[in-house]
Structure 1
Amino acid sequence: MALPSRARRSRAVAWAAGTGVTLAVALFVVVWTVVAALRAGDGSEPVARTVIGWALVAAGCGALHFRHRRPVAVAVVTLLACVAYYPVSEQDGPLMVTFAVALYTTAAEGRFAASVALAAGTLLAVGLGEVRQAPGNRQIDDTSLVMLAGWLISLVAVGRAQHTRGAYLHEAEQRALAAEREQEARARQSATEERLRIAREVHDVLGHSLSLINVQAGAVLHRLSKNPAPDVALPAAREALEAVRATSKDALRELRATLGVLRQADEAAPTAPASGLHRLGELVERARATGLEAGVRTEGTPRPLPPPLDLAAYRIVQESLTNVTRHARARSVLITLTWTDDELGLRVEDDGGGSPGESAPGSGIQGMAERARAFGGDLTARNTTDGFRVTARLPLTPARTTAPPTTPEGDQE
C-alpha cells in the first residue's frame, strides 16, 4: 500500500539525516581536538587524563546517535560529559557542540520544559562557578556569559520553532491524506452506484424483453406440439417469430441506449429517444402479443415529465408487465394513469393468480419501490380478490429529478 511505503521512506530519510549529523559533529569535535593537541605539543598532560578526555569525547559524540529516541537523556549525558571533560582535559576541544545539538533536539522533539530547564541549569551552573572563582582566575567574563545565555536561549527558541513547524506540516500531511482517502472513497462509491444503476437498467430492459420472447416462443411451441395442419401452423409460427423479432429489436435499441453511458468521450452518443411513457403503447402491444388482453386508461390531463421521472414511470409499468407475464398466469391486465396537479398515479392490475410476493427472487417489486421512493413517491403491491395490483405515486415536482439510487444487485433478477 502507498501509505506504509511512504512512512518507511520517511523513516529511512530521517535515520540517514540523523546519522549524518552525528558523524559530522563527531568528525568536527575529533579534528578540532586533535588540532588543539598538536598545537599544544608539550606532552605535559598525563596519559590517564588524555584517555579520560577522549573517552568523554566518544561518550558525548556517541550519545548523539540516540538523541531522537531519548532527547532528554542524551542532553543530560552530553552536559555531564562536558562538565567532566573541561576540568579534566587540557585541550579544551569543542565538546560543547554535542550539548548544543542535544539541547536543540530536545526542544525540536517537543520537550520544551526540559530544554528550558537544561538551558537555565547550565547557565546557572556556569554563572555560580565563575562567581566562586578568584578575581584573576575567571574563565568566562561577563560578556561571554551574556553571549552564552543568548546562545542557549536561541537554541531552545529555534528548536521550539522547528517543532511547531514540524507539527504543522504533519497535520497538513494528515489532512491531505484524509482528503485523498475521502476522494478515493467517493470515487469508488460513485463508480459502484453507476455500475448498479446500469445493472438495474439492463435488468429492466432484458428481463422484460426476454420474458416476452420466452412466452411467445412457448406459446407457438405449444401449438406446434399438437401437430396442426400446415395452413394453421405456418401462420402461427410466422406471427410468433414476427413478435419475437420486434421484441428483440426493441430490446437491442434500449440496451444500446443504456450502455451508451459507457462510451468513450470521443465516441458518438446514441441519438435514439430515451424510454418514457410516450412508448407505453409499445409495451402494451408486446404484452398483447403474448396473449394478454392489455389496455391503458388515462384519467386527467397528461403533461410532459422530466426525463428521469418519465423513465422511472416507464420502468415501473414495464417491470409490472414483466411480472404479470412471468408469474401471474393472467388473461388480462389494465394500466391506469391518473394525472393530477401534483402527482402521477400508476396502477397495474391483472386477473391472474397473484404475485409470488415482494420477497420472492426476481419479482422486481423492491426495485420498483426504490424507483418511486427516489422521487419522493411510494409504491405498494398486493394481491386482490381478482388478481394482483401494483399502485405507485410519483410527485410531479419531486425534491430531486436525478437518476434514482441503486439497490444491490441481489434485489433484482
Structure 2
Amino acid sequence: MPPFDQLRFQLLRGARADAALALGTFALVAVAEVQLLRSAGGSTPSLVVSWLLIAAVCAALLLRRRYPVAVGWFTALATGGYHLLSETDGPLVVVPIVALYAIAAHGRLQAAVAIAAAMVIGMSAGTFAGSSDIGGTAVFMLAGWLVAVVALGTVRHGRAAYAEEEARLRATEERLRIARELHDVIGHNVSMINVQAGAALHRLNKDPAQAEEALGAIKAGSRETLRELRATLGVLRRVDEEAPTAPAPGLARVEELAASAKPAGLTVRIERTGAERPLPAPVDLAAYRIVQESLTNAAKHGGAGRVSVRLHFGDEELALSVEDDGRGAAAGPVLAGDGSGIAGMTERARTLGGELAAGARPEGGFAVRARLPYGATGQPMEESDR
C-alpha cells in the first residue's frame, strides 16, 4: 500500500481533484445557503437565480487548470452578481478565492492582482452604495484574505519553479558526467586500437610477429571496451545484473594501462612516492581517468615514445603528473581543449576541489599535472595492506 503522503498528493492532482474540489465547494455553499434561506426566506425567482449562479460558479472550478485566468474573472464577476441578486449573504466568495490561488500558483501574478483589486473595488462600491450587508470591516478582511491567497500562490509557484530548475540542473550535471565517463572509457581504448591497427598495418609485411602482437592487443582492447561499455549502460538502465567481476577503475589498475599502451609504441614508467593509502572512490577514479586520457593523448596526438607517470601520496592530497617526450606544443589545438580530453580532466579535478594544468614542457614533450584532495576519507595504509 502506498504511503499516506503519496496518497494525499495523488488526490490533489488531475481532473479528479478538480471535480472533488468543485463538488466539495458546492456542498459547502449549498449547506450554508439552505441554513440562511431558512432564516431569511426569499422569493422564488431570487432563489432560482441564486442556485443557478452557485452551480455555475462551482462548476467553473473544473476548468481552473486549463483556463485559470478566465475562471478567475468568471467566478469573481458571477459571485458579485450573486451577492447583488440574492437576498442572502452566502459563502460563495470562497470560490473566486480558490480560483485566485490557482492563478497565482500558475505564475500569472498580474492577472491575480487585477482580479483581487476588482473584487475589493466591487465590495467597496457596495459599501459606498449603502448596502447593509457590507461594511468597512468586511472590505478590510476581504482585502487581507486576497493578499494572503495571492502571496501563498506566488510562493507555491516559486517553489515549483525552483524545484523544476534544480531538477534540470541535476539532469544536466548527470548528462555531462555520463558523457565524460563514456569519453574516458571508450576514447582511450578506441584510440589505442586505432594506433595499434596503424602499427599492425605498417608491420604486416616487414615484421609479421610484431603485427600479430598488435592485432592481439587490438582484440584485447576491443573486448575491454565492450565490457566497460556494457557495465556503463547497465548502470544507466538500472538492470539487475550480476556484479562485475573485474576491479573498478582505479590506481590499482594503472599498471594495466601501462601494459595496454605498450603495443601502441609507448614505454610507460610508473613512480609512486609518499605513504600510500586507500583513496576515496571519486579521487581514485579521477586519477585513473587522468592517467588514461594522458596516455591516449601521448599515443594518438603527441607521437611520444616514453611516458613517465608519477604518483605522490601526500598527507591531504594526491599529486600526479604524466610527462612524455612527444611533440608537445605541436599537438596544441587537439590537446588544448577543442575536444573533451583536457577539458574533461580539468573538470574532474575541479569537481573534487583540486586543479589540473596541462601544457608543453620547456625541454620538449607534454606534461599533465594535477592535485586531487582526499577530502575526509583518505587514511594511510598499514604496512600489511601495502
TM range (shorter): 0.5 to 0.7
Equivalent residue in structure 2 for 1:110, among 120, 125, 133:
120
Q: How far apart in 2 are the matches of 1:397 and 1:13?
A: 55
Q: Is 1:12 aligned to 2:71, yes or no? A: yes
Structure 1 pair 18–108 and aligned structure 2 pair: CA distance change class (3 A): closer
Query: Which amino acid letter does the alignment assign opposite residue 308 of structure 2?
Result: L
Between the two proteins, what is the percent identity of the paired residues?
A: 43
* SS of the residue 2:270 aligns to: strand
How many angstroms apart in 2 are the aligned matches of 1:113 and 1:13? 16
Q: 1:379 to 1:16 in 2, by over 3 A?
A: closer
Q: Which of the residues 361, 370, 374 maps onto 1:392?
A: 370
2:155 aligns with 175
Aligned partner letter, 1:346: L
Give 1:383 shift.
1.3
Give the Cα separation in 1 of the matches to 2:213 and 2:153. Answer: 70
Equivalent AA in structure 1 for residue 77 of structure 2: G
Q: Is the aligned partner of 1:336 residue 2:310?
A: yes
Partner of 2:345: 368
Q: Which amino acid aligns with 1:260?
A: G
Give secondary structure in 2 for the equivalent of 1:109: helix
* Alpha-carbon distance change, 15 to 5 in structure 1, aligned in 2, over 3 angstroms: closer
Looking at structure 2, the residues matched to 115 and 323 of structure 1 have their Cα atoms a distance apart, in angstroms, of 79
Matched position secondary structure for 2:372: strand
Residues of 2 paired with 1:269 and 1:374: CA distance? 30
Residue 309 of structure 1 corresponds to 283
The whole-number CA distance in structure 2 between the counterparts of 1:108 and 1:12 is: 14
Matched, 1:354 2:328: yes
Which of 258, 271, 278 does residue 252 from structure 2 map onto? 278
Between Structure 1 and Structure 2, how many residues are aligned? 286
Give the 3-state SS of the residue equivalent to 2:375 in structure 1: coil
CA contact (8 A) 1:294 1:334 kept: yes
Structure 2 vs 1, CA of residues 297 and 14 (structure 1 numbering), >3 Å: closer, same or farther? same
What residue number does 1:218 align with?
A: 198
- Structure 1 residue corresponding to 2:274, chosen from 300, 303, 318: 300
| TM-score with structure 1 setting the length | 0.61
Deviations 1:109-159 (A, max 9, x none): 33599669827xx5xxxxxxxxxxxxxxxxxxxxxxxxx8xx46x533223
Shift of 1:20: 6.6
The one-letter code of the counterpart of 2:375 is T
- List per-residue Cα deviations over 1:295-348 (Å, max 9, x = no partner): 111112211100011000111111110110111111111111112222211111
> Shift in Å at residue 392 of structure 1?
1.1
Q: Is the 8 A contact 2:189 2:222 kept in 1?
A: yes
Per-residue Cα deviation, 1:354-400 (whole angstroms, up to 9, x for no partner): 14235352372222122112222221112121311111112223699
Q: Which among 294, 297, 307 is matched to residue 320 of structure 1? A: 294
Return the alpha-carbon distance in structure 1 between the equivalents of residues 326 and 143 of structure 2: 78
Q: Unaligned 5+ residue runs, structure 1? A: 29-104, 123-147, 401-413
Partner in structure 1 of residue 33 of structure 2: none
Task: Give 1:13 shift.
Answer: 5.2
SS state at 2:120 partner: coil
Per the alignment, in what secondary structure is the counterpart of residue 294 of structure 2?
helix
Q: Which residue number in structure 2 is paired with residue 251 of structure 1? A: 225
- Residue 27 of structure 1: how far off its partner (Å): 8.3
Contact 2:280–2:377 (8 Å) recurs in 1? no
CA RMSD in angstroms, aligned pairs only: 3.4
TM-superposed deviation, 1:293: 1.2
2:183 maps to which residue? Answer: 203
**Offset of residue 353 of structure 1:** 1.1
Give the partner amino acid of 2:251: L
Instruction: State which drifts further: 387-396 or 355-364.
Output: 355-364
In the alignment, is the contact (CA less than 8 A) between 1:376 and 1:399 conserved in 2? no
**Of the two, which has the highest radius of gyration?**
1
Unaligned runs of 5+ in 2: 1-13, 15-62, 88-114, 379-386
SS of 1:110's equivalent?
A: helix
C-alpha spacing 1:207/1:15, structure 2 compared with 1 (3 Å): same
Supply the AA of the counterpart residue of 1:352.
G
Give 2:143's match in structure 1, choosing from 163, 171, 182. 163
Alpha-carbon distance change, 332 to 174 in structure 1, aligned in 2, over 3 angstroms:
same
**Amino acid paired to 2:68:** R
The one-letter amino acid of 1:267's match is D
Paired residue type of 1:317: V
Contact preservation (8 Å) 1:337, 1:346: yes
Matching residue of 1:267: 240
User: Closer, same or farther in 2 for the Cα pair 1:269/1:191, shift >3 Å?
Assistant: farther
Q: CA deviation digits over 1:69-95, x for unaligned, max 9?
A: xxxxxxxxxxxxxxxxxxxxxxxxxxx
CA shift at 1:223, angstroms? Answer: 1.4
Residue equivalent to 2:99: none
More deviation, 335-344/351-360: 351-360
Change (3 A) 1:27 1:380: closer
Matches within 5 A, 1:88-107: none
Mapped partners of 2:65, 2:122: distance in 1? 29
- TM-score when normalising by structure 2: 0.65
Cα 1:106–1:325 change in 2 (3 A) is closer
1:20-71 deviations in Å (ceiling 9; x for gaps): 753784587xxxxxxxxxxxxxxxxxxxxxxxxxxxxxxxxxxxxxxxxxxx
Deviation at 1:237, TM superposition (A): 3.7
Structure-2 separation of matches of 1:156 and 1:378: 67
Would the aligned equivalents of 1:107 and 1:159 in 2 still touch at CA under 8 Å?
A: no
- When residues 24 and 158 of structure 1 are mapped into structure 2, their CA distance, relative to the original with a 3 A threshold, is closer
When residues 20 and 216 of structure 1 are mapped into structure 2, their CA distance, relative to the original with a 3 A threshold, is same
- Deviations for 1:251-272, whole angstroms, at most 9, x for unmatched residues? 22222333333123x6337434
> Aligned partners of 2:234, 2:146: CA distance in 1, in Å?
50
1:18 is displaced (CA, Å) by 2.5
Secondary structure (helix, strand or coil) at the match of 1:212 reads: helix
Change (3 A) 1:293 1:23: closer
- Is this contact kept in 2: 1:344–1:395, CA < 8 A? yes
Note closer, same or farther for the CA distance 1:323–1:398 as it changes in structure 2 (3 Å cut): farther
